[in-house]
Chains A and B, each alone.
Chain A
Amino acid sequence: MDIILAAVGDAFAWQALLAIVVGTWAGIIIGGLPGLGSVVGLTIFLPFTFGMSTITSMALLIGVYCGSVYGGSITAILINTPGTPQSAATTFDGYPMTQQGRVDEALGWATFASFFGGVLSCVILIFCAPQLAKFAVNFGSIEVFALICLAMMCIVGVSKGSVMKGLVCGMIGFFLSMVGSDPITGADRFTFGSYTLSSGLTLIPVVVGAFALSEIFVRFSSRDDPGAKIPEARLRLPKLGEWFKRWIELVRGSLIGSFIGALPGTGAAAAAFISYATAQKMSPRRDRLGQGEPDGIIASESSNNAVTGSSFIPTLALGIPGDVVTAMMMGAMVIHGITPGVRLMVDQAQTVYSLFVVLIIVNVAMLILSKPSIGLFRYLFRLHQGYVMAAIVMFSFIGAATVRGNPLDLVVAAVTGILAYALRRADYPLAPLVIGMVLGPELESSLRRGLLIKRGDFFELLTHSGISMALFSLLALLIVWTVWSSIAQWRAAARNQPSYD
């Protein structure tokens, strides 16, 4: 008990609280700026932590991390450009709500869902970390392969209009992730002899091009249209009765996020897509998803923020970072003498409990700071559209240039932007491109590892373990159902076929 009180005391020290406020607020702003995401935010603040105490520096970094995951939703809703890849799924319903004049409501749901997901995953982290970590160990390559296959099915769900076009975009994204060294053998692929290409393509430049730059091109073509103005946004949090009506959606999104976060090697972007796809199957309002339904925002935002808490489960319990961001946090811990690993909970219990308290305070701070942050974006977006667009171009460039310091990434962003504009004009959905790029590498390497383990026998993969058999059966069911319903849709569409001029 003493140790818990001491831990709470550490977390409520004024330095830690100040670090939380500064970190969370900066995180929200950085996350909201297209191109700059969690990694850039942490890179900016990492050098400042060298002189700080352990808890203060962790408070700062956790604040930046959680804030940036939430902040991405603001621009996703306001201008259809996710501030971070984690919030790409928020655009599906967030932007339609903005177009319908329900921007305040959309921001309110995004804020509340982020808060809810963040807090619920903290609770799970505090009470179930050892059990979840043990369960995650059972997820070997083959189980992960089955899970990612299931997740890939969400491409079908988010392809509004044409499943075929969605599939092609998914394949393009998947292909982009394959350029560079093969993760298993190290052989160069699709580099065509160019050394620059052998380091591969990374996610951020592609997301920046596909969403931010293409959005600028779209807005440019309609710059004289008064309807294209960025609306005045205020935050309106949902009333108790409203969120009570949707509590199942909130809990489901948060649980999905918490679970995905606990698996090493996935991350918040994957969680948001999987959660959205689940909502498409299970939400009572699923017919309206994609046309401005708060359930879509809830699915995306509750799950991506739930990852922030649970991604600490493998980090703290096993010393295995869940994604790039937690790997950076782990590095910062090592500097301060905390060695994440199996003995952390025993050797450094007080520090770990302080981290839990900090995580909860950060989520509360996020809720409080959401209002002034949205106010700042409202102020910025009131400027002449030219300034806003030029600034987005600059932030996209900075984001692409700083991912790994490679100028090639800027060219990737520009080319993706131009291609994405053409694809959007021809009604290709772009989200599958991001899904392909996010999930593709893990899908491929888990399959290849599985084949190595089973010495090349694909059918043995299917019967590897109870978990994998269950997941593969679910996948088969889902495929049959999807094919069945798309044939029905296709028949209906064939009767009143549209034509373009």
Chain B
Amino acid sequence: MKAIHHALALMIIAGASHTVHAQETLEIIVPFAAGGATDIVARSFEPVFSEQLGVTSVVRNLAGASATVGTTEVAKREGNPNIIGYAPAGSLSIQPSLKDLAYGPDSFTYICRTTSNPMFLMVSRSSDIEDFDQLVAASQEQPLLYGSSGPGTLPHLAAAALVVESDLDASHISYSGSGPAMNALAGNEIQFMADTETILENYDLRPLAVFAAQRIEGYEDVPTINELGLPEMEFSVWQGVIAPKGITEERKAQYSDACKATLESDRFKSFAENAKAGIAYLGPDEFESFVKERFEANKQVLHDAGLID
């Protein structure tokens, strides 16, 4: 009922031309279960975003199959201006190469990238490996194992790419999430892992290198992969807002303005600081080319690592 009142008031004030479809509730699809890391970011993003748009919104969790179920749902609602998705890197730039999905990189109207966190190569602090060369040397003595939060996830891809490009001799074991993988790292079941700053800070870990073009603020003594004498590698965990294809340019502009304003709001900024989510805005066009570029790059990695033909 409140939604209708809200919308009615808006219609009178702004006139019918501006409230494109404001009488309906905006549905924000989060492709993870409630309470997960991505869901928390989306739920902090949602209230500010809908305030900016002047609509009521509701978060709908549609989890499963590495976030592709929820992402598919957005792709299927072609032309619907009242649905958006809060999508992670994996379901947009990795899964379409791995699985036969109903969507690809061209199936969406890209709104904005919200956050991005570079990934680090890390070992347990209790291990005596201090830098990348020692890691390689250790792997020559006895092949190592690296963990990931699941097959085909970014931690898997980043480490797999590193193994392909360097002299590192290591194979992959997947866990049901970053937590269990950290338990394995602490117990020396696996020897290294690639993941974000959040993980690095929460556990007793030592960064060896960062998968980014430049060194990262706060980690000035951690070299980039390129500085180790390897080809440049960029892996980061990012998220963004997507909408179905076929919405009007006007609606797209409304969304991206609201997104930009949300990321600049104090409320979201203070949350992002707590959650160690690095705000990294990209507008619609840059985001679209970014996703497509990442899609091709990840496809190449998957191919080189022998995960797809």
Contacts and interface: CB of A to CB of B under 8 A. Distances in A.
Given A198-B65, A334-B40, A319 B34 contact: no
Interface in A317-347: 318-321, 324, 327-329, 331-332, 334-337, 339-342
Contact of B35 (A43, A314, A340): A43
Given A186-B152, A328-B36, 11 more contacts: A137-B186, A180-B65, A195-B101, A199-B65, A265-B180, A320-B182, A321-B177, A324-B33, A327-B35, A445-B176, A453-B145
Contact of A200 (B36, B65, B274): B65
A443 B202 CA distance: 28
A407 B36 CA distance: 21
Contact of B183 (A137, A181, A336): A137
Interface of A: 39, 42-43, 46-47, 50, 136-141, 180-186, 188, 195, 198-200, 264-265, 314, 318-321, 324, 327-329, 331-332, 334-337, 339-342, 404-406, 445, 449, 452-453
A331 B40 contact: yes
A320 B176 CA distance: 12
B65 A181 contact: yes
Contact of A331 (B35, B70, B99, B145): B35
A184 B174 contact: yes
Interface string B29-66: 00001111101100110010000000000001111111
Give the residue among B98, B102, B186 with the most A Cβ atoms within 10 A: B186
Nearest to B73: A405
Contacts of B43: 46-47, 50
Interface residues of B, number: 53
A50 B267 CA distance: 11
Given A185-B151, A331-B40, A453 B65 contact: no
B285 interface: no
B189 interface: yes
Contacts of B79: none
A322 B99 CA distance: 30
B216 interface: no
Contacts of B271: 335
Interface in B188-239: 189, 198, 201-204
A183 B173 CA distance: 10
A453 to B, nearest CB: 6
B137 interface: no
A198 B180 contact: no
A137 B203 CA distance: 13
A318 B185 CA distance: 12
Closest A-B pairs by Cβ, 3 of them: A328-B35, A341-B202, A199-B64
Contacts of B275: 334-335
A50 B65 contact: no
Contacts, number: 145
B87 to A, nearest CB: 15
Given A340-B202, A404-B62, A335 B183 contact: no
A80 B171 CA distance: 48
B187 A327 contact: no
A339 B273 CA distance: 11
A138 B34 CA distance: 31
B184 interface: yes
A137 B187 contact: yes
A241 B204 CA distance: 48
A452 B274 contact: no
Interface string B160-186: 000000000001011111011011101
29 contacts: A43-B35, A137-B186, A137-B187, A139-B187, A140-B189, A141-B184, A181-B65, A181-B66, A185-B151, A186-B98, A186-B150, A186-B152, A199-B68, A199-B69, A264-B183, A318-B182, A319-B182, A320-B179, A320-B182, A327-B177, A331-B37, A334-B40, A335-B40, A335-B44, A335-B275, A337-B274, A341-B201, A405-B62, A405-B70
B269 interface: no
B196 to A, nearest CB: 13
A320 B180 contact: yes
B77 interface: no
A159 to B, nearest CB: 28
A411 to B, nearest CB: 15
A342 B204 contact: yes
Given A327-B35, A331-B39, A335-B274, A341 B183 contact: no
A405 B61 contact: yes
A43 B39 CA distance: 11
A138 B60 contact: no
Contacts of A137: 183, 186-187
Contacts of B180: 264-265, 320
A266 B33 CA distance: 18
B40 A342 contact: no
A37 to B, nearest CB: 13
Contacts of A334: 37, 40, 274-275
B21 to A, nearest CB: 22
Contacts of B174: 183-184, 186
B234 to A, nearest CB: 23
B176 A328 contact: no
Given A342-B203, A406-B62, A453-B189, A50 B274 contact: no
Nearest to A445: B176
A401 B203 CA distance: 36
B294 interface: no
Nearest to A185: B151
Nearest to A193: B100
Contacts of B292: none
Given A46-B34, A328-B34, A265 B176 contact: yes
Nearest to A138: B187
B63 A404 contact: yes
B245 interface: no
Contacts of B252: none
A128 to B, nearest CB: 18
A406 B32 CA distance: 12
Given A185-B151, A406-B62, A318 B40 contact: no
Contact of B36 (A183, A314, A331, A335): A331
B276 interface: yes
A46 B63 CA distance: 17
Contacts of B36: 327-328, 331
Contacts of B47: 50
Most A CB within 10 A of own CB, among B39, B65, B68, B187: B65
A184 B64 contact: no
